[in-house]
Amino acid sequence: MPVPTSPNAPAAGVPTIVVVGHGMVGQRFLEALADRGLTATAGTARVVVLCEEPRPAYDRVQLTSYFSGKTPDDLSLVEPDFMARHGIELHLGDPAETVDREARRVVSRSGLGFTYDTLVLATGSYPFVPPVPGKDAEGCFVYRTIEDLLAIEEYAKTATTGAVVGGGLLGLEAAGALKGLGLDTHVVEFAPRLMPVQVDAGGGAALLRTIENMGLTVHTGVGTQEVTADEKGAVSGMNLSDGSSLATDLVVFSAGVRPRDQLARECGLAVGLRGGVIVDDECRTSDSDVFAIGECALASDGRVYGLVAPGYEMAQTVAGVIAGERSSFTGADLSTKLKLLGVDVASFGDAHGAADGCLDVVYSDSRSGVYKKLVIGQDGTLLGGVLVGDADQYGTLRPMTGTVLPVAPEQLVLPAGAGGPVTLGPSSLPDDAVICSCHNVTKGAICEHTTLPEVKKCTKAGTGCGSCVKVIGQLLPQSADKGLCGCFSYTRSELYEIVRTLGTTSYAALLDSHGRPAARGGDGCEVCKPTVGSIIASLAPTLGASGYVLDGEQAALQDTNDHFLANLQRNGSYSIVPRIPGGEITPEKLIVIGEVARDFGLYTKITGGQRIDMFGARVDQLPLIWTRLVDAGFESGHAYGKSLRTVKSCVGQTWCRYGVQDSVRMAIDLELRYRGLRSPHKLKSAVSGCARECAEARGKDFGIIATANGWNLYVGGNGGAEPRHADLLAQDLSDAELVRLIDRFLMFYIRTAERLERTSTWLDRIEGGLDHVRDVVVHDSLGICAELERLMTDHVAGYRDEWAETINDPERLRRFVTFVNAPDAPDPSVKFVPERDQVKPDLDILAGPVLAVRTLEGTAS
């Protein structure tokens, strides 16, 4: 029976490249082909990909983050239009079944046949499950794919105790996942220490102490003899090699991986005695038309590399060879840095000191769980190292491997007060030092760019494991003058400290005392005036100043939106957004909004933040509209300010069958707590009642996702022009713990961020990034949390609704007129035309001569 072929036949003379496997390395290979113009859209190659999994390539390194709220889409490594843009034929859930090398033909599971000119095997590896009795019992899992995680998550709902077989990288991640699912968790490792490949005995001991302090139970130096099952065939326990037993109802095997070389074996390619497709320096197999890359390949140095960085390098090598470049793979850096269960662990170079005559420089503090070891050659050369509990210097030390350190090695490991620490700056590295080992990017390549987003886009550095981001930031050019503007030589965060410390409530006084000499006595500029106004407003309750932004001198500092407590639109009209905390609203309040919109002829639209926006109000109508809204129980939604906008929510456990917490109540509580909080930029938030994340909390400046044990807090998200998913700051928090950490986070952001800097940009810029923010906000490393909490308490106590404050004060109402010399005259330029049963601005009108004076900018027309 003939085998059917793919419906997409290649153009005459165009080579066909078939890729078997679409994991991280397979996707990197496709990107490397596209970078070299080898695509169908370019007419240079037909590329076919056969993928076993039901989804495109995703970040397996960050797999565990799924349990912290990331979705499979978040983990995807494939841009939405990547395949279509390059004409790549991707077949999901349809792996290669047979390879006929003589006919140069691959047949997939569904029966599709493809004739290839070049075949690339990127089949990866499979989890090794020890051949112990009971390994197939119900409740036994491996930890390799998203589907594995989905199955574990579902089964854990009925389990109380979990055990992980294997204490390596993935095993500890699996243990962290089980703990996060609320299970009492055990780790069983046959070796005498955890992470035996990466760390030595001292590092393993430090790691063990820290992990046990987190509530996990670790069994080292023992093996699994048997998995026991109950009468229904479900896991009930484990028997260990030392004669002890362990009661558990869920088992995860994470005892290493093996190369997936079955397809290669069956088609007659040479494989190693212990597995792996044998390849040469070009990653060619024993068949010159077939290549193998990633974890399925046995490299020419006799290694099967289990890290992603060597796989990426292999992918680049093969793409280069296909493109006619001189390219080879002769080995790779096995250094790694990661955070396991919140603990920094890193190893690089000759971490175990295998070189003859080498010396170890070791610092160990069992109380704090810090262990540092540098392996030094007899000539002073840095050969490698192990860092546990404190891996801040990994990004600089790893590129220095193979060079003589410029300082005594003990100065790099000892704590302050004991001869250290000395921090080596990345500027001391040579240009050919590899800063990003995931993508093999050198210091010289990074220094060709000026911003972190540019580096990530152009070189991919910092987009892998992320351990190099801090070093990249230190390599990028720093502005010599960091002053806010021409009026102040201080940054916004420095001005915040000056205002807070001195109790300054006057912009003019601040300019005279701390402005640049040439600016003193002047009027300031459009940059610093609203910035200082925002600082004073955010500190007003603490400073004893009026919280009303239009009182006295403050009014002159505001931009147009804050000046009129509404959003200026393109035709000179304004929009009004009343606060609707959590999106919850009564029918009576809905009716009031409808009546106001009808009576004033306003265009209405439901926003993405669960509120109703009313457009088209003249400036003189604003107080009239506010009066009716305030009488109905509404208040300002601060849509015009650099302040909290909304706290969006799903319906949570009250209505939804999947909800595990009351997300609506929490969203309302948070929105009412932080309303009116002035900040360097707008703030958005959301609360999701379960991990399905319907409120899209991870796209917000601070987002909350419910768990069975409380709340997970994420920070630094942004759904704007440069989307960024928020990062997990803390998990399984009680209501009180959640509010306390948000108080601290917001006040620390307001204190240290720069002008118009969103939390997402701030997190990427601030030295130490998320880890530093966590140290400050969660662990109070700077000792300022009590003050941050007090500042927020002052804000909450001092909050006043700006709309109500305005309509109840005749003097304040005087500013809300279109023309100062004709207060009753409407603005003739504000016109509307009908559209879809509502109105829209008439942008085609030509306004006649205006003889009155506008208050908008304070200038004559």
| Residue ranges at the known binding site for [4Fe-4S] cluster | 650, 656, 690, 694
CA gap 233, 229 in Å, rounded: 5
CA gap 724, 698 in Å, rounded: 8
Q: Which amino acid is at 450?
A: T
CA gap 580, 633 in Å, rounded: 10
- As a residue count, the chain comes to 861
In sequence order, the 6+-apart residues with CB closer than 8 A to the CB of 374 are 360, 361, 382, 384, 385, 397, 409, 412, 413
Only one residue has tokens 């040479």, namely 270
CA gap 814, 804 in Å, rounded: 15
CB atoms within 10 A of CB 344: 20
For 290-301, what is the HEC assignment?
Answer: EEECHHHEECCC
CA gap 787, 790 in Å, rounded: 5
CA gap 284, 305 in Å, rounded: 16
Only one residue has tokens 């491997």, namely 401
Q: Which amino acid is at 90?
A: L
Q: Which amino acid is at 150?
A: L
CA 634 to chain centre: 35
**What residues are designated binding site?**
650, 656, 690, 694
Please give the backbone phi and psi of residue 784, each rounded to the nearest 5 degrees, phi first. -115, 5
| Residue 520 per-residue DSSP state | T
Give the E-state strand segments of 378-511 in sequence order: 382-388, 434-436, 441-442
In sequence order, the 6+-apart residues with CB closer than 8 A to the CB of 28 are 311, 312, 315, 316
- 3-class SS at 580? coil
Nearest to 338 by CA among 193, 142, 199, 216: 199
CB distance 546 to 501 below 8 Å: no
CA gap 142, 252 in Å, rounded: 5
Rounded to whole angstroms, what are the CA distances from 405 to 378, 459, 508? 12, 28, 52
- CB burial of 423-440 (b: ≥16 within 10 Å; e: otherwise) equals ebebeebeeebbbbbbbb
CB distance 418 to 446 below 8 Å: no
CA gap 697, 711 in Å, rounded: 12
Nearest to 296 by CA among 275, 273, 323: 275
**What residues are designated binding site for siroheme?**
694
**Half-sphere exposure of residue 741: CA atoms within 13 angstroms, side-chain side:** 24
